[in-house]
Chain A
Amino acid sequence: MSVHMSASRRAGTWLLSTGVLILVGIMLLPVAFMVAMSFKTGAEMAADPLGLPGGIFFGNYENALSKMTYVRSVLNSIGVTLSVAVLVSFIGALAAYPLARRTSRLSRALVLIVALGLSTPNFVTITPIYVIFRQIGLLDTYLGLILAFTALNLPLAVFFYTSFIRSIPAELDEAARLDNCSDFQIFWYIIRPLLGPATATLSLFVMLMVWNDFTYPLLLLTDESKFTVMISVYRFIGNHTISPEDLFPAAVLGSLPLLLLFLFFQRRIVAGVTAGAVK
């Protein structure tokens, strides 16, 4: 497409790109602020919060890392987050397929149940989940935590996929059915590859939610070696009095692995989008 662009159009695009980059840059100033603050000493923070750090001071990070069981908790977070993303995408897409294709009363009732799940305020589920997990013995297990997060994100996934599958022409289904494909085969070989962009976007959302949540890990886990990174961060920061020298490095440490995970997945997402676009 760029081959057909005139010089003036290319210049216009370049100008626009720069403009957007500047805009995004401005939006990210608070993030830059957070990173800059994390490298300042306590005195620098109080004296001149808006300025750049005098030198790069690693003391805050040293302190944070020594008090948080960082590596272990990051690995836990990554493991749980990825597992949930995969599980939720699969179960969600599977469930969305009939709901998108059928408009019977049963399907509409199920959609309503999904909407109910989406609308539930957060606190409603805490005690019941604890009670259920205790009864089936899933307390303090990785499996329990993964299951809990999968359940919590399932309504979103189903809602998402239902919308996207609806936009896939039903003729494709019909064509496959004429070839004697079973419902599952249609789902697996025809629908699923086309869900690339939806799965990519959904996974990002799910990963963000699971990574940053610390209520459920706190509730369901008592073994410290299973703790996720956000629990580590919050325990380190404390809750009542916020001390900036602790807050900023801890926040950076908590978010950095997630950012790296994102960037890593961006490549696969791009691949997924382009693959899905080729019908």
Chain B
Amino acid sequence: MQRFAKYKIYLFVLPAVIVLGAFFIYPILLTAKLSFTDFTGVGVANDVGWKNYERIFTRSRYVDALKVTLFFTLIVVVIQTASGLFFASLLNRLHSIRNLCRAALFLPAMMSFVIVGYVWQFIYSPFNGGLNALLAGIGLESLQNNWIGDPDTALFALAFAHIWMFVGYTTAIFLAGYAGIPQELDEAARIEGTSAWQRFRHIEIPLLAPSFTINIVLSTIGTLKTFELPFIMTRGGPDGATRTLSLHIIDSLFGKYKFGFASALSIVMLILVIVVAYAQNRILRSREEQL
């Protein structure tokens, strides 16, 4: 009876587990099975053994995509988290505009990917696009560039558009984290004469540790998987400079109809995401506990 009572609480998890099992575990197992076949999305799936995986690890283009994906994710997560912290720390102090600004920062995320892609393509256009026109207007013509047409800047341009879209999320999470910091702490520190920066570094940042964890883990996972913006804005161009792993999956699925191969790519991506997320989670959680 005692033992049962201890496990009774896990009944709470039951509905979620059933749903997760049906909608994630089962599909993942199915995908894993299909990754060893030459399935085209319809018809019969013939077993091809490890051929798909062999292809992934021996062709340079997939290894390149891996590098692109990791680099892209790094840029986005670092800048997006920093920006979110920046806005949240300011907005936390500015009560009058806080709710307005938080909603405003969500506006980019409310726009669908197609429109975001289109507008940013326009902004980045080498023919009098918004950004180049702005630079010319303030006299910085030398900085003009072919932002998404130049392999050196394309990934950064894409990352920036992505960050623009999702900074609202990180800000909101940090703001929620701020809401959990008791005001008395802040007051006490202020009375003791600490500067705003010191308060920020030694009180707020440590107490925001859980928010950091959530933000970093979520944005990492999301960015590793993302395909919409690269697909719409550059289609992986110019010549593969922005081709992430997810774009390869799309390419294989739609157009080439290589469902089996795409499944193998998906499994590789899944493993990548889990490994990165798990490592991050452990590191961040242990820091959380230290603080």
List residues of A whose CB falls within 8 A of some B CB: 1, 13, 16-17, 20-21, 24, 27-28, 30-31, 33-34, 49-50, 91-92, 94-95, 97-99, 101-102, 106-107, 110, 113-125, 127-129, 132, 147-148, 150-152, 154-156, 158-160, 163-164, 166-167, 183-184, 187, 197-198, 200-201, 204-205, 208, 211-212, 230, 233-234, 237, 242, 244, 247-248, 251, 254-255, 258-259, 262-263, 266, 270, 273, 276-277
A107 to B12, CA, bound (A): 12
Residue contact A95 to B16, C-beta cutoff 8 Å: yes
**Shortest Cβ gap from B102 to chain A (Å):** 8
Count how many pairs of residues, one from A and one from B, have CB atoms less than 8 Å apart in the complex: 224
Determine the distance from Cα of A148 to Cα of B27 in the docked complex, in whole angstroms. Answer: 13
Please give the number of chain B residues whose Cβ is less than 8 angstroms from any Cβ of chain A in the complex. Answer: 84
Q: Among B16, B173, B218, B266, point to the contact of A94 (Cβ < 8 A).
A: B16
Alpha-carbon gap, A166 to B167, bound state (A): 25
Contact of A273 among B19, B179, B221, B270 (CB under 8 A): B179
Majority secondary structure, B binding face: helix
Residues of B within 8 A of A (CB): 7-10, 12-13, 15-17, 19-28, 30-31, 41, 87, 90-91, 93-94, 96-97, 99, 101-116, 118-120, 122-123, 130, 133, 164, 167, 169, 172-173, 176, 179-180, 183, 210, 213-214, 217-218, 221, 225, 227, 246, 249-250, 253, 262-263, 266, 269-270, 273-274, 277-278, 281
Interface residue from B27, B93, B101, B102 paired with A125 (Cβ < 8 Å): B27
- Cα-based distance from A49 to B125 in the complex (angstroms): 12
**A123 close to B262 (CB less than 8 A):** yes
Of the candidates B119, B164, B179, the one whose C-beta lies within 8 Å of that of A197 is B179
Whether B12 lies near A259 (C-beta < 8 A) is: no
A77–chain B nearest beta-carbon distance, Å: 12
If over half of A's interface residues share one DSSP class (helix, strand or loop), that class is named, otherwise mixed; here it is helix
Which residues of chain A have C-beta atoms less than 8 A from B164's C-beta? 27, 30
Q: A113-B17, A128-B27 are in contact. Are A28 and B104 (CB under 8 A)?
A: yes
Residues from chain B with a CB closer than 8 A to the CB of A262 are 103, 106, 110
Please determine whether B110 and A205 come into contact, CB atoms closer than 8 angstroms: no
Closest 7 CB pairs of A and B: A95-B16, A128-B27, A119-B273, A151-B23, A251-B115, A197-B176, A117-B24
